[in-house]
Amino acid sequence: MKESLRRSLECFFLFAAIPLSLLLPVTVGVKAIVVVLAFVYLLYVLFKKTAIGWGFKNKLPWRWFVKHIGFRLLIIVVVTTLFVYAYAPEALFCVPRTNIKLFFIILAVYTLLSVWPQEVIYRSFFFTRYSSFFKNQYLLIFVNAVLFSLAHLFFLNLMVSLLTFIGGLLFAHTYAKTRSTLLVSIEHALYGCWLFTVGMGEMLAFPGMGACS
């Protein structure tokens, strides 16, 4: 089998078949096993065969990162604060106001067990393995964002799908510019933690408004 065909099938299986399989009416345990096995395979390929490393370069574009991500974060903070205030004022800063311990636990778990694996899969692995399929970098970023949103389809939540697509565009752009898993993970963590902080947790399948009841 030619390498390009093998990688195409690999991409379809990892980034389309497995996410769609999470919609099937099977037990959570079975789904978890499939996801874990796929992640183990992915890590093996990424770190043993490509030797891409962990994203800790000696020289990272911190100045570019702080400037661009700071601006993006400011916009996200303003827009989401106004949104929650207008449509669900009781949820505004709900968890940090009512359960500070839960707040910090969720931020830590989310950052370590959700953000980093997602960035390894959808940015480090995807860009390393499949970027040669795309002659246009903007098409690569768009497809990456679509697949990132597809991975969240099992939530059956339109807002989750929309926000993960927008987030996917931002994260893919950052990775394309920096090629750093560390920087794009920081960006992802900042946005995700803010959405939980401002009170959008319940809307996005985080423990959110329920903690205030």
Q: Which domain holds residue 197?
A: 54-212
pLDDT at 58: 62
Q: Is residue 12 part of a domain?
A: no
**Lowest-pLDDT choice from 16-25, 38-47, 67-76, 172-181:** 38-47
The mean pLDDT value for 171-197 works out to 95
Question: Tens digit of pLDDT for each residue in 104-148?
Answer: 998 999 999 999 999 999 999 999 999 999 989 999 999 999 999
Q: Is residue 184 part of a domain?
A: yes
Transcribe 105-146 into DSSP letters: HHHHHHIIIIIHHHHIIIIIIHHHHHGGG-SSHHHHHHHHHH
| Cβ pair 76, 68 in contact under 8 A | no
Banded pLDDT at 49 (limits 50, 70, 90): low
Name the domain count of the chain.
1
pLDDT value at 93 more than 80? yes
Q: Is residue 7 part of a domain?
A: no
Q: Is residue 26 part of a domain?
A: no
pLDDT at 209: 43
- The mean of the pLDDT values for the chain is 89
Rounded alpha-carbon distances, angstroms, from residue 171 to 46, 107, 109, 137: 19, 19, 20, 14
Q: Is residue 166 part of a domain?
A: yes
pLDDT at 46: 82
Question: Tens digit of pLDDT for each residue in 193-204?
Answer: 999 999 998 777
- 151: which residues sit within 8 A by CB, 6+ positions away? 15, 19, 118, 122, 164
Higher pLDDT, 58 or 178: 178
Which letter, b or e, does each residue of 136-157 get, where b requires 16 or more Cβ atoms within 10 Å of its Cβ?
Answer: eeeebbbbbbebbbbbbebeee
Banded pLDDT at 208 (limits 50, 70, 90): very low
Q: Is residue 24 part of a domain?
A: no
Q: Is residue 72 part of a domain?
A: yes
pLDDT value at 185 more than 90? yes
Rounded alpha-carbon distances, angstroms, from residue 40 to 14, 43, 46, 115: 12, 5, 10, 16
Q: Is residue 42 part of a domain?
A: no
